[in-house]
Each structure stands twice: as C-alpha cells, then as structure tokens.
Amino acid sequence: MKEQIIHQKISVAVDVLIFTIEDEKLKIVLAKREAPPFEGVFALPGVSLRESETPEEAAERSVLERTGIRNIFLEQLHTFGRVDRDPRSRTISIAYCAVTSYRRLKDSGISGSAGLYPVSGILSGELPLAFDHREMTAHGREMLREKVNSGGIAFEFVPEEFTLPQLQKVYEILLGEKLYKANFRKMIAPMVEETGNMLTGQAHRPSRLYRKKKGETNE
C-alpha cells in the first residue's frame, strides 16, 4: 500500500545552539558563513548528517569542530523542515541545544572565525542570522526557560564548583526575573552539597562553593 522507496532528494543537516553565559548575558556560538548562500552572515554551527552516524553524534561532532569540547550537555530541540529554508536544495535540519559553562568554552578556545553573541540581539533582529536560525534560537531560548525549573539545566551553565549566588544569577538570567535569595536557597538546597571550599578575593564576605548533588532527579 505504500510508495516504493524511491530515493528522496532531501538533505539532512544538524545544527547546534551552544548556549553559555558570559558577562551576565545569555549567549550562543555563531560563525560567519564563508560561502553562499548567506555569505558573510552569522550562522549556527552545523554539519551534514553522515550515513554512519546518529543525529546526536553529528551534533557532538559539530560542537567538537567549533569549540573543541567533548561530553557537552546536549539535547535534541526540534526538527525544522520548511520547504524553502535552504535555497540550495531541500534540506531539513535537526536542531540540538548544548549548554556549557563559559569557563570551559574559554579554556577549550573557540575556533578562529566563531564567537559568542548575545541571544537578545538575535531575537530582536539586531543581529541577523542565516537560514531559519533565528527561529531555532527562539525555540532554544524557550526550551531553556522551560527546563530551568524542571530538570536542573542551570547546573550546566556553571563550573563543577560554584557558589549559590552564581547559580542564582543563572536562574535569573534564564527566567528573566529577580529571585529572592532566601527562597532560592531553600529551593535549591536539596539539589546541592558543599565542597568545603570558599571563593575568596571579592570585596565582601566569601561565598561557599557547592557542587551538584547527584543521584536524585529533582523533586
């Protein structure tokens, strides 16, 4: 009852939104395109899906190429398939969200042409992107917001050891609102444990360092 498996002329791409927080702003990794279409326009890191790899592996490869980072937090976002999204040929793109701490991104070193750009500028249209990458960014932004509370995605933005004020900042940036210190701490308490270390060198009382308590899902 089904059509024959005639070979489709559809290409499959994998694009990755690599989120991080720098300078108290949510940013993503972009690279300027060096060839048409959209030559000179910023675009998300992406690769063409190989026959021998899964979409997730392709996403890892894309992250590795651009940032040198392995074992990054990665989650499938959505598959985008507008017919005219790529002017060259019919191409669908499986988009992934990745998250890393700014420290790790800086240590690995972003490869040459790539850089970090604020998400707000992309969504406002101030910084135009190639293809439907702005739409992808909007979806990714939304996914982060949803996952802050359920599932501790916030931990992916901070290093192994972090202070509670740092973590609270992450929540505030992702949610877009100021939180009450005392309440935030009560909420986060069951998910973290002290490392015993302190973060000194600030012009005020030092803060304790924590790590993510593993084993339990939240709540």
Point out which residues bind DNA (CB under 7 A).
Answer: 163-165, 180-183, 185-187, 198, 200-208
Residue 71 structure tokens:
């074992």
178-to-30, 148, 156, 181, 205 alpha-carbon distances in Å: 28, 14, 20, 9, 21
Decide whether 75 or 161 has the Cβ nearer to a second copy. Answer: 75
**Among DNA, a second copy, none, what does residue 47 contact (CB within 5–8 Å per kind)?**
a second copy
Site size with a second copy, rule: CB under 8 A: 33
Nearest distance from residue 125's CB to a second copy, in Å? 24
Residues 25-54: x where in contact with a second copy by CB under 8 A, - otherwise, as a string = ---------xx-----------xxxxxxxx
**Among a second copy, DNA, none, what does residue 186 contact (CB within 5–8 Å per kind)?**
DNA
Residues linked to residue 171 through DSSP beta bridges, in sequence order:
none
**Among DNA, a second copy, none, what does residue 195 contact (CB within 5–8 Å per kind)?**
none
Q: Locate tokens 């803060």: which residue?
A: 207
Q: Which of 18, 30, 69, 94 binds a second copy (CB under 8 A)?
A: 94
Residue 216 interacts with a second copy (CB under 8 A): yes or no? no
Q: At what angle do helices 181-188 and 164-175 cross, to 10 degrees?
A: 100
124-to-31, 128, 188, 212 alpha-carbon distances in Å: 19, 9, 32, 34
Q: Which of 9, 70, 178, 204 binds a second copy (CB under 8 A)?
A: 9
Helix (H) or strand (E) holding 137: helix 133-149
Residue 70 interacts with a second copy (CB under 8 A): yes or no? no
**Among a second copy, DNA, none, what does residue 164 contact (CB within 5–8 Å per kind)?**
DNA
**Among a second copy, DNA, none, what does residue 92 contact (CB within 5–8 Å per kind)?**
a second copy
Per-residue b or e along 181-202, where b marks 16 or more CB atoms closer than 10 Å to that residue's CB: eeebeebbeebbeeeeeeeeee
Q: Is 161 left (phi over 0), alpha (psi -120 to 50) or beta?
A: beta
Decide whether 34 or 216 has the Cβ nearer to DNA. Answer: 216
Nearest distance from residue 146's CB to DNA, in Å? 16
Q: Locate tokens 């300078």: which residue?
A: 23
Question: 43 with 25: CB under 8 angstroms?
Answer: no
Q: Which residues lie near a second copy (CB under 8 A)? A: 1-3, 5, 7-12, 34-35, 47-56, 76, 78-79, 81-83, 88-90, 92, 94
